[in-house]
Structure 1
Amino acid sequence: MQNQEYQFNPGQAYPSGAKQQKDGVNFSIFSRHATHVELLLFTTSQSIKPFQVINLDKNKHKTFFSWHVYVQDLPAGTWYTWRIDGPNEPREAGLHFDKEKQLIDPWARVVSDVNWNRQAACKPGDNSATAMRCMVPNDADYDWQGDKPLAISSEQAIIYELHVGGYTRHPSAKVKNPGTFSALIEKIPYLKKLGITHVELLPVMAFDEQDIPQGTADLGLKNYWGYSTHSFFSPHPGFCVTPEQGSHIEEFRDMVKALHMADIGIILDVVYNHTSEAGSSGPIINFRGIGENIFYHHDKNDKSILHDYTGCGNTVNANHPLVSSFIVSSLEYWVREMHVDGFRFDLASALARGEGGVVLEDPPVLWAIELSEQLAQTKLIAEAWDAAGLYQVGSFPGHRWAEWNGKYRDVIREVLRGDTGKIQELATRISGSSDLYQHQDGLPINSINFITCHDGFTLNDLFSYNEKHNAANGEESRDGCNNNLSNNCGEEGQTTQPNIRQHRRKQAKNALAILLLSEGVPMLLAGDEILNSQQGNNNGYCQDNELTWINWQMAEQNSDIFRFVQHMIALRKRHGSIMRKHFLTGEVIAEKGIKDISWHGAKLDMPLWDDPDTRLLAFTLAGTTADEADLHVIINMSEQQTLVELPDIKNKSWCLAIDTSEQSPQDIISPHNQKAIKKNTYLVDGKAVVAFENRKSQIARS
């Protein structure tokens, strides 16, 4: 425990946050309208009373809009908060200064929520006993052992979306510290065996677990997904083994380094569109008590009203110069200091809005991110819509941004459900969505293809439920999407009917096959490879329990589905024709003697584009090199068996690689076990995906 008061001097305005230097720590915080600022120093994250309070003299400790102080000999590991006074003029100026409220530093690298009480922060006055704390990080060199962000091309990427906590909290995970960055390291052998190239982590920047509706809180639930960020430089303490020691940075880096050693990249799901301070009645955590009028969108007539384009109570004013700089600095920090390989931006279209919510053609913050030299090799993925009706899939500002392709998700679900009149759009989506991206010089990698994600049904539930079942969330099932484009295959929920169970498994394999045979970047939802279920809950944002946790017993129970995904990934990796950099043209590839893609129906070269009832589409993909096998794929989503013609390619024989109607291991066959098809036709089962690879006739098996 500190038993001394530290000497201090004015310090410097740059850099923002707490920066350890040779003989002490420099603190700096931006607050344009503040009239008085105090720095509070604490012994531990749980300390209620500070051991020292430093009053900053406006004439000595303020430069332009930054308040700063240098505390001599202060050690790393010291915890701190700020108190800031200024005008409390919410209606006139959008300012909520409260001189008694303890604030955390927006630039803090380490935060603790051990004392945190959200309700206390929503009320005016002193919250000393219930405020969060920041810690001065130790800037001593971390031994990266030569690690650096990976350079895996987007064409080769296979993304796997997971929740750090939910991935290992189930007892069946059998890890040392469930629900932590450390526990994820223990699952790396599983990820390697599956074959994915990147993990995309749901929010891991520090978030408020208490940010949920009252009815949900009354059930003892909490914010589980993490889309309620308050500290954009700090790993979430709830994912750390020893957060009270301020080990956040080291634990996160250990995870990144271990993933990189296994050649697995890491993409962070980031939430810069809103913060956990919510609407006008929300808590004062940091930004609201420092300069709310700058950081959020306000009503121009009554600045106490926050514009909400996110559905979460506030919208970050991302294109204000200072806010834009803050966001870019945060991203660059995670790449430079934490070696992150990419970011997926939640409700990214909200970042395209300027003053008054107007949609900007060239939003400064999005271009600043795209053009940042430090982010030049970093993957950028946009959820290209917001909660106020802005939908920018295919038109998101910038050039190298990839997009969660919601149109891909919807049409694949419709096709799997058996909807008619969809084969033209199906062809467009599985060939890279050129209609969305090619006209603006985009590439297939601009499309992140997915059928399921954290938000919505799991793959198992997509074929088990017609309706959402969200009563457990405490919102009377008002939450969650109603348009799931799902089909329960004959009975709602769990069933003992063998025919329904078998059909659901086939549909899951159909979905996985189509996804991994599509041009663009595929994204899988963690647990889908073992048919993880959320019992029909399509909005598990508050369910930090066995409803959403990955049950690892399912890996053994559904080992056939795991094997199918594993082998589908291997098939994708051996076919450059599915991982093209440029869009397909339909032109002949000279060295192959066939078109890069040819479309068919049951009869060759006769796709039934104009038949409103057809549910069958076939296509042939030419290999990209002389040694690469060609692919012939048939998607039959009708209920009828159909005899389908196979193309004749000179000196080649077709070998069956995939037939989702077959039982494992015959549903997907490794090249060394494949046998040549002697006929020029194949009987495709109803609701099945079939694919063939070809070989030179003299080496193909008969």
Structure 2
Amino acid sequence: MTSLATAPITTTLGGYPLEPTGTALRRWSGSSHPFGASVTESGVNFALYSANATAVTLLLFNSPEDADPVRVIELDSQKNHSFNIWHVFIEGARHGMGYAYRVDGPHEPWNGHRFDPEKVLIDPYAKANNLSRWKRGDACFPGDNLHTSMRSVIIDIDDYDWEGDRPLQTPMAQSVIYEMHVGGFTKSPTSGVKNPGTFLGLIEKIPYLKQLGVTAVELLPPLCFDHTDVLREHDGKKLVNYWGYSTVGYFAPHQAYCVSNNDGQHIKEFRDMVKALHKAGIEVILDVVFNHTDEGNHQGPTFCFKGIDNSTYYYLTGVDGSREFYYDYTGCGNTFNCNHPVGEKLILDSLRFWVEEMHVDGFRFDEGSVLSRGESGAPMEHPPVIWAIELDDVLAKSKVIAEAWDAAGLYQIGYFPGARWAEWNGKYRDAIRGFVKGDPGLISEVASRITGSSDLYQWHREEPVNSINFITAHDGFTLYDLTAYNEKHNWANGEGNNDGINDNVSWNCGVEGETEDQWINDLRARQVKNFATIMMISMGVPMIVAGDEFKRSQGGNNNTYCHDNEINWFNWDKINSPDSQEMIRFWSKLIEKRLKFKNHFSGRYFAGKTNRFNISDIHWHGPVVNQPGWNDPQARCLAFTLGDTADDTDGTNNIHVMMNMYWDAIDFEIPQFEGLNWYRTIDTSLRSPEDIVDYDQQVKINDGRYVVTGRSIVVLFSRETT
């Protein structure tokens, strides 16, 4: 390592000078803001919040991988302490050095305090964390863990050429979201990329995303988490934290998704990915986990918040008024105190960082309902953190999406606080799954879900774009597995098939699992196309899961959280097969058609307008025109006409949809309008390429009827007669 600067400092930081100590790294009192490690030309300012600490020690490492620190700096409780914030400026400290804290204070679990000066702690605001020496078990038990601790890394974030890049701000109504796992997308040897399983590897597959036509990728948690945590071993495989839903650092990219071992390069690699996706017109949405942290319950490791100020950062409970244990509203051992002013500040600071410094376009909040809980744990009418995110100037044009429930039973679909927050619409998922499966009596609810779930959102002046329409997500069956399995098959998880949801609203089409029966395989492909078609003709914002476009299977496993292996990885050999390419073509053309007919998905509810062809913005039918059969408990069919009521309509943007989820073919009437002819553009029962066609290949319907094959959907587009 090169020697550290020893030149005298000529100015102070924050106006709080302190006599220097030593010759290699000189200490000054520093500033209480901003939180974290802030790099300047002459050194680094460190600021750490702890309301209840009695002593704080800063450890500096020449390299974050070093066993021992180069300096141990005990902060002065007078000169390095302003109110609840401990701070120090170290002249000569620089980018790339490691640092950590020891924090002392009362060890009184019954009062919520778990200070332990033997534990080495990372900075909650660190821009990188190094886990090369980390041993999780050593942080769970008493004793000094200096040599097996995590270390934060000093990062200078200003040195990057964005080449004019900014967040894209694609309107929600024109968005198609692709939920994906950064590692699993390219980690398989079949991917053929230079840097598999990384942010840079994802860049190499951008042409695939462009071909598909999605407008945004929603990345399963790409923030720092402990990928070394082996949950258990089963059948000779180590099962680990694969999804990443236990955050370690809220300002740091996940180190395992980076190519470079140099922590200082991690932010650059993440920025390279964002910049490349933006150049391709694709937004970046981060899945963020503020509802809990990776420190778990009272038996979990101490490496950050628990040792810095446990009673501030977590919801605590106990017997007879004690605060020894953790409220577990998340199912993950603890719950982050989101609406404490300090917890709220961390969340807002993190989101602003990812928008301002990393140019991301939005966020999806895991178990977002936790953010509505007050410090007592009860839901609040106006939760400060949710409204702060809603109204923040920096975040104003960022997409914010909530998983509007938590593990403790709080379910807020249609009731999530705030106005512009979009919600994962679980009711959409359940209704469409049941309808395509063939369950009767769902057409009224399906009609509501297809038209933007006005029953959920319109009552408090929200819009269709508040509904994220999804049929599958990372947790649960894949879209193909919905058509291939009646039951979950989670044996590979090593939990006796007791994990994962039991009711999947799925249907295996007659055989459980894989089969060589071509009739069943054709039916499954048709069902996947039915799901896809409904999603793309629905008002709201469609979200598809990576792999559903080529019928990716997890073998019936609906909870693959622990598999960093072929169960989750993309098989690019399969993607390139003719069968998969046919399905990818179908999805791609569907997305293309949806974005073309954006007038129908403008983000506003239908208002009863009629166009010059006397077609209203929406009209409902069944097999018989104008008779949808709302009160028929056995109904499995629904049809509707969408009229383009924009002032400049030319007769080509009207749509008629016929959905038959009955097992036999049904003859549907087609409404007729003077001056228009109907042309078939989609029939999910037909083989590729007739299943979905371009404008010049559309088939004219010469009479007022169409026989819709059982379990299939037909979509017609209009053209003005000549």
| TM-score of the aligned structures, taking structure 2 as reference length | 0.95
* Per-residue deviation, 1:578: 3.3
Alignment of 1:641-652 (within 5 A): 641-652=665-676
Alignment of 1:349-360 (within 5 A): 349-360=369-380
Q: Does 1:667 align with 2:691?
A: yes
Q: Does 1:199 align with 2:217?
A: yes
Alignment of 1:331-480 (within 5 A): 331-480=351-500
Q: Does 1:582 align with 2:604?
A: yes
Q: Does the 8 Å CA contact 1:211/1:276 hold for their aligned counterparts?
A: no
Q: Does 1:32 align with 2:38?
A: no
State which of 628, 631, 636 in structure 2 corresponds to 1:615. 636
Hey, what's the Cα distance between the residues in 2 that align with 1:291 and 1:675? 68
CA RMSD of aligned residues (A): 1.3
Hey, what's the Cα distance between the residues in 1 that align with 2:30 and 2:227? 35
Q: Deviations for 1:497-521, whole angstroms, at most 9, x for unmatched residues?
A: 1111111111000100111110100
Q: Deviations for 1:427-477, whole angstroms, at most 9, x for unmatched residues?
A: 000010000000100100000000011010011111111111111111111
2:11 aligned residue? none
1:69 aligned residue? 88
* Per-residue deviation, 1:291: 0.5
Q: Does the 8 Å CA contact 2:231/2:239 hold for their aligned counterparts?
A: no
Q: 1:426 to 1:192 in 2, by over 3 A?
A: same
Q: Deviations for 1:568-627, whole angstroms, at most 9, x for unmatched residues?
A: 011111112431221113x23244421100000001000010011110000000124313
Alignment of 1:243-254 (within 5 A): 243-254=261-272
3-state SS of 2:594 partner: helix
Hey, what's the Cα distance between the residues in 1 that align with 2:442 and 2:537? 18
Moved more, 212-221 or 397-406: 212-221
1:255 aligned residue? 273
Q: Does the 8 Å CA contact 2:611/2:645 hold for their aligned counterparts?
A: no
Q: Does the 8 Å CA contact 2:25/2:90 hold for their aligned counterparts?
A: yes
* Per-residue deviation, 1:51: 1.2
Q: Does 1:502 align with 2:522?
A: yes
3-state SS of 2:72 partner: strand
State which of 278, 288, 294 in structure 1 corresponds to 2:296. 278
Hey, what's the Cα distance between the residues in 1 that align with 2:102 and 2:236? 31
3-state SS of 2:717 partner: strand
1:325 aligned residue? 345
Q: 1:245 to 1:205 in 2, by over 3 A?
A: closer
State which of 575, 579, 582 in structure 2 corresponds to 1:560. 582
* Per-residue deviation, 1:355: 2.2
* Per-residue deviation, 1:75: 1.8
Q: Deviations for 1:490-542, whole angstroms, at most 9, x for unmatched residues?
A: 11111111111111111000100111110100000001111111111111111
Hey, what's the Cα distance between the residues in 2 that align with 1:217 and 1:638? 42
Q: Deviations for 1:275-314, whole angstroms, at most 9, x for unmatched residues?
A: 0001110000100000110111011622111000000000
2:703 aligned residue? 679
Moved more, 654-663 or 590-599: 590-599
* Per-residue deviation, 1:243: 3.5
Q: 1:218 to 1:440 in 2, by over 3 A?
A: farther
1:595 aligned residue? 616
Moved more, 40-49 or 685-694: 40-49
Moved more, 522-531 or 469-478: 469-478
2:39 aligned residue? 20
Hey, what's the Cα distance between the residues in 2 that align with 1:367 and 1:227? 24
3-state SS of 1:409 partner: helix
Q: Does 1:640 align with 2:660?
A: no
* Per-residue deviation, 1:29: 0.6
3-state SS of 1:325 partner: helix
Q: Does the 8 Å CA contact 2:129/2:263 hold for their aligned counterparts?
A: no
State which of 239, 242, 264 in structure 2 corresponds to 1:221. 239
Hey, what's the Cα distance between the residues in 2 that align with 1:173 and 1:537? 23
Moved more, 506-515 or 35-44: 35-44
**Letter in structure 2 aligned against 1:576:** K
Hey, what's the Cα distance between the residues in 2 that align with 1:159 and 1:463? 22
3-state SS of 2:298 partner: coil
2:312 aligned residue? 294
Q: 1:38 to 1:50 in 2, by over 3 A?
A: same
Hey, what's the Cα distance between the residues in 2 that align with 1:347 and 1:212? 24
2:330 aligned residue? 310
1:105 aligned residue? 123
Hey, what's the Cα distance between the residues in 2 that align with 1:326 and 1:402? 22
**Letter in structure 1 aligned against 2:690:** Q
1:239 aligned residue? 257
Hey, what's the Cα distance between the residues in 2 that align with 1:109 and 1:345? 20
1:131 aligned residue? 149
3-state SS of 1:522 partner: strand
3-state SS of 1:189 partner: helix
Q: Does 1:49 align with 2:68?
A: yes
Q: Does the 8 Å CA contact 1:108/1:231 hold for their aligned counterparts?
A: yes
**Letter in structure 1 aligned against 2:476:** G
3-state SS of 1:392 partner: coil
Hey, what's the Cα distance between the residues in 2 that align with 1:341 and 1:87? 42
* Per-residue deviation, 1:218: 8.3
3-state SS of 2:576 partner: helix
Q: Does the 8 Å CA contact 2:128/2:263 hold for their aligned counterparts?
A: no
3-state SS of 1:220 partner: strand
**Letter in structure 2 aligned against 1:667:** D
Q: Does the 8 Å CA contact 1:216/1:475 hold for their aligned counterparts?
A: no
Hey, what's the Cα distance between the residues in 2 that align with 1:119 and 1:79? 22
Q: Does the 8 Å CA contact 2:231/2:238 hold for their aligned counterparts?
A: no
2:718 aligned residue? 694
**Letter in structure 1 aligned against 2:239:** L
Q: 1:41 to 1:217 in 2, by over 3 A?
A: farther
Identity of aligned residues (%): 49
Hey, what's the Cα distance between the residues in 2 that align with 1:209 and 1:94? 29
Hey, what's the Cα distance between the residues in 1 that align with 2:333 and 2:193? 37
| TM-score of the aligned structures, taking structure 1 as reference length | 0.97
Q: Does 1:653 align with 2:677?
A: yes
Q: Does the 8 Å CA contact 1:277/1:285 hold for their aligned counterparts?
A: yes
Gaps of 5+ in 1: none
* Per-residue deviation, 1:245: 4.0
Q: Does the 8 Å CA contact 2:665/2:709 hold for their aligned counterparts?
A: yes
**Letter in structure 2 aligned against 1:22:** E
3-state SS of 1:288 partner: helix
Q: Does the 8 Å CA contact 1:211/1:228 hold for their aligned counterparts?
A: no
Q: Does the 8 Å CA contact 2:232/2:240 hold for their aligned counterparts?
A: no
Hey, what's the Cα distance between the residues in 1 that align with 2:574 and 2:233? 32
3-state SS of 1:103 partner: coil
3-state SS of 1:356 partner: coil
Hey, what's the Cα distance between the residues in 2 that align with 1:249 and 1:410? 39
* Per-residue deviation, 1:550: 0.9
Hey, what's the Cα distance between the residues in 2 that align with 1:354 and 1:652? 57
2:7 aligned residue? none
Q: Does the 8 Å CA contact 1:577/1:622 hold for their aligned counterparts?
A: no
Q: Does 1:548 align with 2:590?
A: no
Moved more, 549-558 or 175-184: 549-558
Hey, what's the Cα distance between the residues in 2 that align with 1:459 and 1:200? 17
**Letter in structure 1 aligned against 2:333:** G
**Letter in structure 2 aligned against 1:376:** A
Q: Does the 8 Å CA contact 1:592/1:623 hold for their aligned counterparts?
A: no
* Per-residue deviation, 1:112: 1.2
